[in-house]
Structure 1
Amino acid sequence: MGKNRPIRVLHVCTIFLTAQTFIAPVLRYLSRHGYEAAVACSQESAADGPVSSGSRDIEGCKVFSVAIPRTIRPFQDLLAIRRLCQVIREFKPDVIHTQTSKAGIVGRLAARLAGVPVIIHTAHAFPFHAYLPWPVQWAYIWIERWVASWTDLLMVDTESVRMDGVRQRIVQDASRIVTVPMGVDLMRFSPSLGGPGTLRDALGLGRQALVVGTVARLVPDKGLECFLRMAAIIRAERADVKFLIVGEGPLRQSLEQMAESIGIGPDVAFAGHRTDIPEMMQAMDLFVLPTRREGFGVVFAEAMAMEKATVGSDIGPIAEVLEDGVTGYLAPADDPKVFAARALELLRDESKRRTFGTAGRCRVERLFSQSRMCESIEGHYRRLLAQKGIVL
């Protein structure tokens, strides 16, 4: 059947930072293409960084306040489901699209109870990680199968995550789990930005040094201890190299102490949470992140869009973004010696850095643009709505 009003899409996530960083481009795209788009999330900031402004608004979209706890809290979870049902009754969405594990469970349950026609979830990574005890893994697998049973479509960022879902039979029909890579704003992340000299001065890096940098939340999964050990190895050979860590998180103090204890404190700049990520990347000569776990690795795509050579962990999602030997190098996670060797090779060879950087930009333009991501997501909305007899 047709509708005499625009199709309405409600995204659900835990915190506004997620909505602002990852969902807002999709919401704005939908609004420009005739949809009514909204997001439901907590109004609180994340512990690892505030939103980029004091405003809790997204241009052209409604923002509903729903307190969804990030950890398991049965009473608060029930309140969140109740509040989401109220939002659904008010907004009357045709599609609910949830993101992050906890919001995925709470949001899909509310959508199921409220009878929303199309239910979609994006799993940036599944929670049943191999390092967890088997009973915990199986509990997560069972929960994912349960909520997936009344989900019309699962979206994932990479083929490796999709295969995790297929192997664990999260969905019975493999066609109900599709890969939609995250996208980069190619206008914002552009190598045509001005020179980095002034910013380097402000960060205490100097204009003559080579800068190895990273952008990450300061949490254990990001492998920043490995980054610092790599930095110490590089500094032992090259006194002209400085290091830049952009991001905030609970490990900030311990990482600063570690840098001092291994003798590289004066050579490492901790920039904290920043909103000018493209400019920070422009100040780098090489981007390195020894992450242990990643759903997609959008920060690598952003660095590649800035024409930066990259070195990343040889894990499934990163290997789908970074092309080894073409746009950068892969190295074993938690191996600072190999990371240092790869970084030193690129620091010695400016021509190779430029070649890798140019290839990286081309790869992002071809595979990981924001426009490509938004078009793919909207295409799935249209297909699923048509299956339910709802057309634009």
Structure 2
Amino acid sequence: MMVGAGLSGRRVAQVILNMTYGGGERLVQELAVDLEDAGARSLVVCLDSIQANTAPLEARGIEITLVKRRQMALDAVALARLTVLLRKRGTQLVHAHDLASLAYAVPAGLVLGIPVLFTEHSRHYLDARLRRRLEKRLLCLGVRRLVEVSPELAGASVARDGVSPRRVAVIENGVDLTAFAGGGGELFRRECGLNEGQLLVGMVGRLEDIKGPQVLLEAFVRVAGNMPQARLVFVGDGSLRRELEAKAVARGLGGKVRFTGARPDIPQVMGGLDVLVLPSLSEGLPFALLEGMAAGRAVAASAVGRIPGIVQDGESGMLLPAGDAGALAGALAGLLADADLRQRLGRAARLVVAARYDRRHMLDAYREMYASVLSREGQGREATWK
């Protein structure tokens, strides 16, 4: 029997703040399209803005709707709009992808009598804020399942946030291996102005403090002085972009550092890098890590979140203390000086992702969960997502 066979004709809504280029937004796209493939009907609801990362949804004719909320604790008008929209579309299950969206999905689900799921992609917004943890604990009383993208996040939800372990499930992220198998990075390298013999270090992600782009820039300053062939590219956007651009110029790196903004052609980006860096201060299970490894790139990453459970230091990548620009500079210098090391780490990295983080496994686990929640008979069945 096909996984999630009970989904045909079902109507599922994904609720998220916006559709920028991020992990949560990526998962929303993947789930909405896969539900359509399973015969269900998908609806994507954004609370703040839709933005531009919607082409895969539009290509499938999936409805994307904005419920414009005002910046307040809870916008009753936006909640009413969401509730009416879900009722009109005949929604049978709501899946929220951030805590703010959950604050709207839970009361809407209660009013309509439909189940709510919540996938948590990271917890940096929780760890320093008791109020947020209490809010999450209360809201999770109204969800059928809290899905964590890593065992580490699941453990923290139970131990730190007080969520019942019976509500918590783990479904780790996965990527399309075939999309990252063909290289194809030469066009991106030319776009970045690389000449023969030059080496490209890259970060793919939001340019925000929690992602550590300032740490990478500082590390690259130390590397570039001794390695004139090194270049750096930031692929992504965020509130730090102008500050980082100004710092790069001020440190004499204006011709060696590029900022491309957010872009959809990530397989080509990964294929064009020599080294992928994830300098994050906090993480769940980043798609960018899996994508870089699937592309066979050498990875240097902070030892935070799920990353140490995926990257074996010195075998399938390099692990570094978060926020340590000196340690990162040393790792980059070693990787850029040793092509054989980069190739060895890249080959091992792709094998890790191929064995454990295939997108189909992730999507099948969500299909099974959706079908189980929507089925009265699903309560006692063993599931791959537990």
Q: TM-score, structure 1 length as denominator?
A: 0.88
1:204/1:22 CA distance change after superposition, 3 Å: same
1:108/1:339 CA distance change after superposition, 3 Å: same
| Residue 183 of structure 1 pairs with residue 174 of structure 2 | yes
Which structure 1 residue ranges, 4+ long, deviate > 6 Å from structure 2? none
1:355/1:225 CA distance change after superposition, 3 Å: same
Distance 2:368 2:7 in 1: 21
| Conservation of the 8 A alpha-carbon contact between 2:210 and 2:281 | yes
| Conservation of the 8 A alpha-carbon contact between 1:300 and 1:321 | no
Distance 1:65 1:251 in 2: 26
| Conservation of the 8 A alpha-carbon contact between 1:16 and 1:43 | no
1:27/1:56 CA distance change after superposition, 3 Å: closer
| Conservation of the 8 A alpha-carbon contact between 2:372 and 2:378 | no
Distance 1:381 1:348 in 2: 48
Question: Counterparts in 2 of 1:1-392, with a 5 A limit?
Answer: 6-17=9-20, 21-42=26-47, 44-45=49-50, 50-51=52-53, 53=55, 57=58, 59-68=60-69, 71-74=71-74, 77-116=75-114, 118-126=115-123, 129-130=126-127, 132=128, 137-172=129-164, 174-190=165-181, 192-196=182-186, 198-387=187-376
1:185/1:56 CA distance change after superposition, 3 Å: closer
1:255/1:59 CA distance change after superposition, 3 Å: same
1:316 CA drift (Å): 2.2
1:4/1:155 CA distance change after superposition, 3 Å: closer
Query: Which digits, 9 at most, give the CA deviation of each residue in 1:15-63, with x for residues without a partner?
Result: 13368632121122111112222222247345xxx4265x973515333
- Segments of 5+ residues of structure 1 without an aligned counterpart are none
Distance 1:6 1:187 in 2: 29
| Conservation of the 8 A alpha-carbon contact between 1:8 and 1:95 | yes
SS in 1 for 2:225: helix
1:200 CA drift (Å): 2.2
- Segments of 5+ residues of structure 2 without an aligned counterpart are 1-5, 380-386
SS in 2 for 1:187: helix
Give the counterpart letter for 2:170 in structure 1: T
Select between 138-147 and 312-321 the one with higher mean Cα deviation: 312-321
- Percent identity over the alignment is 25
1:254 CA drift (Å): 1.0
SS in 1 for 2:72: coil
Distance 1:194 1:138 in 2: 46
Distance 2:378 2:190 in 1: 59
In the alignment of these two chains, the number of paired residues is: 373
1:168 CA drift (Å): 2.3
Q: TM-score, structure 2 length as denominator?
A: 0.89
Distance 1:166 1:298 in 2: 24
1:222/1:128 CA distance change after superposition, 3 Å: closer
Distance 1:320 1:382 in 2: 29
1:372 CA drift (Å): 1.0
SS in 2 for 1:211: strand
1:312 CA drift (Å): 0.6
Give the counterpart letter for 1:13 in structure 2: I
Distance 2:8 2:211 in 1: 45
Distance 2:376 2:328 in 1: 49
SS in 2 for 1:245: strand
1:209 CA drift (Å): 0.2
Q: CA RMSD in A?
A: 2.4
Query: Which digits, 9 at most, give the CA deviation of each residue in 1:328-378, with x for residues without a partner?
Result: 011011111111111222222212211111111121122222111110111
Distance 1:211 1:240 in 2: 9
Select between 155-164 and 17-26 the one with higher mean Cα deviation: 17-26
Distance 2:199 2:247 in 1: 22
Distance 1:180 1:5 in 2: 22
Select between 327-336 and 13-22 the one with higher mean Cα deviation: 13-22
